[in-house]
Structures are given as C-alpha cells and as structure tokens.
Amino acid sequence: MTEIAVTGAAGRMGREVLAAAADREAIEVAFAVNRSPVDELISGVVIESSDNFAELLAEYEPDVVVDFTGPESALAYADACVEHGVALVTGTTGFDDDGLDALRAAAESTAVLKASNFSRGVAALRLAVQEATAALPDADIELTETHHNAKRDAPSGTAKTLLDDIEGVRDDLSERVHGREGEAPRSADEIGVHARRAGDIAGEHEVLLGGSNETLSLTHRAGDRSIFADGALDAAEWLAGREPGWYDFFEVIDDA
Ligand SMILES: NC(=O)C1=CN([C@@H]2O[C@H](COP(=O)(O)OP(=O)(O)OC[C@H]3O[C@@H](n4cnc5c(N)ncnc54)[C@H](OP(=O)(O)O)[C@@H]3O)[C@@H](O)[C@H]2O)C=CC1
Ligand SMILES: O=C(O)C1=N[C@H](C(=O)O)C[C@H](O)C1
C-alpha cells in the first residue's frame, strides 16, 4: 500500500488525482490540502488547509506527495518533503531555470519525479518525435499546443519538453520563435512554437515536420485528465521507498 498526500486538491488535476486514488486498492490518501478553503469532501476526502502542510506531513508521514499546483507552491512543498524525508511526484509546469535548479537540489535529499506530462501517449509521442527528427534532418519543425482557457503557463510544459527533445537531436536548431508576424520568411535554424487557448481542451500537442514535397505531423490529444492522474499515481507507487534522486516517468513506464 502506498500512502500519498495530495496538494492542489481542489484544482482540476487535484480532483482527478483524488478520484483516481479512490479507485485504486494499492493507494491510500493520507491527507489532501488546498490553498483556498474547501467545504466539500472531494472523492470522500476532507480537504485541509495548505497552511498546515508541514504539520500534516509530520503527523501522517505519507510515502509520496503528489503535486499539481504552481511553480512557487511546488517548490515550497518540495522543501517540506526534503525536511520530512517524503518523496515527491510533481506534474506542475511553468518552472523557470532557478525553479528547476531548486527542484533538482531537493532531489539530492529526497526522491523527486517530475514530468511535464504523465500520459503514456505523450511518452510515446516523445519517442516518435525524436525518431522523426533524426530521420528528417532537413525538415522545418513547428510545434503547436492547445489547452483550456484557464491554463496559466505558455508554452505548455510538454511543449518545452518536446522542444528539448528536438534540440537534443538537431543541434542546428538554435532559435525558438514564439508565434510569428511581419514580413520575413522563417530561417532554417528556428523552431516555430504556437500556443492556443480555447474552451475546456484537456491538452493537444502537434509536431509538424515539413520537407520538400512531404510533411509529417505527429499529434497527441488528451481525451480527459484521467490519463494524467493515472500516470501520476503509477509514478507515486513506483517512487515510494526509492533513494533520494531525480527520476523520470520513462523509468516508471519501462518497469511496468
Ligand atoms: N504533468 C501533467 O501530466 C499535467 C500537469 N498539469 C499542470 O499541473 C498544474 C495544475 O494544473 P490544474 O490542476 O489545471 O490547475 P488549477 O488552477 O485547476 O489548480 C491549481 C491548484 O494549485 C493550487 N495553487 C496554485 N497556486 C498555489 C500557491 N501559490 N500555493 C498553494 N496552492 C496553490 C490551487 O489552489 P486554489 O484552489 O487555492 O487556487 C489549486 O488547488 C499546472 O502547472 C499544469 O500545467 C496539468 C495537467 C497534467
Ligand atoms: O495545464 C494543463 O492542463 C496541462 N499541462 C501540462 C503541460 O503544461 O504540458 C500537461 C497537459 O498538457 C495538460
């Protein structure tokens, strides 16, 4: 049995994580917190104030904290995890370089698994994009991500991960061009990046590789957020009891 604590419990993802946890025999929710007060039970769980997070960690000693919040709060939760020796699974996106460094520093003292996307389909997309990028070394590459109208960070964390993957294969691509307007044609060393926000779209990512007389388009569409919650809980079960370190969602998938 893996005992988890859930942060951001009343958020879109927090609710999904609690719903998914209620369906899993191997997972027990030790406690859940939210910044704003919540009067209702969510999936049968009482929601505590995030102001009491450190005290709750000390009292319940869960195996893993599952976090989908914002970069600032995720780093505060990571500090508390380090202090109490609790592992952290975070799907939070939007970290700047200092934030990522701080998270990596936390991983020196406790087990941290961060993924910008906990869907297995996106994991497969990443591998396909790396292969296609290598196979079409002269292609122009444009990345488009589409999300619901309440998403804060742009481009998405997944888009940034895909860009890192592409640049890992193509070292001639040195410029990320966000949106495009004006008169100049695109140059060969750029990757176009486009972020769209509309309605309640759970998350779409398309990588377009354009060559002479042919294009290849690789697209992932999330049907709903349960895929992210399921992946995060798989990660929590896998991470429980691991040594301090920085872990990757591919390690979870490879062990499944
Ligand atoms: N890795 C993945 O697979 C996925 C990652 N995400 C990422 O997860 C994160 C959350 O997404 P989503 O659930 O849609 O967002 P929501 O806005 O719906 O929920 C955010 C939650 O975080 C809490 N929160 C925000 N800021 C703070 C803070 N400073 N201190 C404490 N709590 C805070 C909010 O509390 P309050 O209710 O008080 O505002 C809320 O409970 C985003 O970064 C998103 O990109 C999303 C989906 C999948
Ligand atoms: O905020 C979201 O909704 C999502 N965020 C993640 C991201 O930024 O990539 C993952 C998913 O696309 C949904």
Does 230 lie in the same domain as 113? yes
Regarding whether 139 and 13 lie in a shared domain, the answer is no
pLDDT > 90? residue 193? yes
First to last CA, the chain: 17
User: Which CATH number do you get for residue 109?
Assistant: 3.40.50.720
The per-residue pLDDT for 9 is 98
**pLDDT tens readout for residues 134-169:** 999 999 999 999 999 999 999 999 999 999 999 999
The pLDDT tens digits of the residues spanning 22-31 come to 999 999 999 9
* Whole-number Å distance between alpha carbons of 115 and 157: 9
Out of 105-109, 231-235, 252-256, pick the least confident: 252-256
Mean pLDDT throughout 60-81?
98
The pLDDT tens digits for 205-220 are: 999 999 999 999 999 9
96-141 tens-digit pLDDT: 999 999 999 999 999 999 999 999 999 999 999 999 999 999 999 9
Residue 256: the pLDDT is: 79
**Ligand 1: does its nearest atom lie under 6 Å from the Cβ of 224?**
no
Residues 16 and 77 in one domain: yes
What pLDDT, on the 0 to 100 scale, is given for residue 25?
97
What pTM did the predictor assign?
0.97
Could you tell me the pLDDT band of residue 80, with boundaries at 50, 70 and 90? very high
Confidence (pLDDT) at 98: 98
Distance CA 11, CA 30 (A): 18
Question: Mean of the pLDDT values across residues 226-253?
Answer: 98
9 lies in the same domain as 78: yes
Q: Say how far apart CA 33 and CA 51 lie, in whole Å.
A: 8
Q: Is 147 a catalytic residue?
A: yes
* Active-site residue, from 114, 147, 160, 194: 147
Residue 171 and residue 248 in one domain: no
Which residue's CA is the nearest one to ligand 2's atom 2? Answer: 151
The predicted model gives 26-46 an average pLDDT of 97
In order, the DSSP letters of the chain are -EEEEESSTTSHHHHHHHHHHHT-TTEEEEEEEESS---S-BTTBPEEEGGGHHHHHHHH--SEEEE-S-HHHHHHHHHHHHHHT-EEEE------HHHHHHHHHHTTTSEEEE-S---HHHHHHHHHHHHHHHH-TT-EEEEEEEE-TT--SSS-HHHHHHHHHHHHH-TT--EEEES--SSPPPPTTEEEEEEEE-TT---EEEEEEE-SS-EEEEEEE-SSTHHHHHHHHHHHHHHTTPPSEEE-HHHHHHH-
Statement to judge: residues 185 and 113 lie in one domain: no
Give yes or no: residues 161 and 57 share one domain.
Answer: no
The answer, yes or no, to whether residue 174 has pLDDT greater than 90, is no
Number of domains in the chain: 2
Range of the domain at 128: 120-221
47 in the same domain as 172: no
Residue list for the binding site for NAD(+): 8-13, 91-93, 115-118
Token output for 9: 């419990």
Q: Is 151 a catalytic residue?
A: yes
One domain for residues 154 and 75: no
Q: Are residues 94 and 175 in the same domain?
A: no
Which residues sit in the known binding site?
Answer: 8-13, 91-93, 115-118, 148, 157-158
Q: Looking at the structure, do residues 171 and 201 belong to the same domain, yes or no? A: yes
Which domain CATH number covers 204? 3.30.360.10
Instruction: Give yes or no: residues 156 and 210 share one domain.
Output: yes
pLDDT exceeds cutoff 90 at 92: yes
| Angstrom distance (rounded) from CA 128 to CA 174 | 21
Q: Which residue has the tokens 């919650």?
A: 229
pLDDT digits (tens, 9 = 90+) for 43-53: 999 999 999 99
Q: What is the reported pLDDT for 14?
A: 98
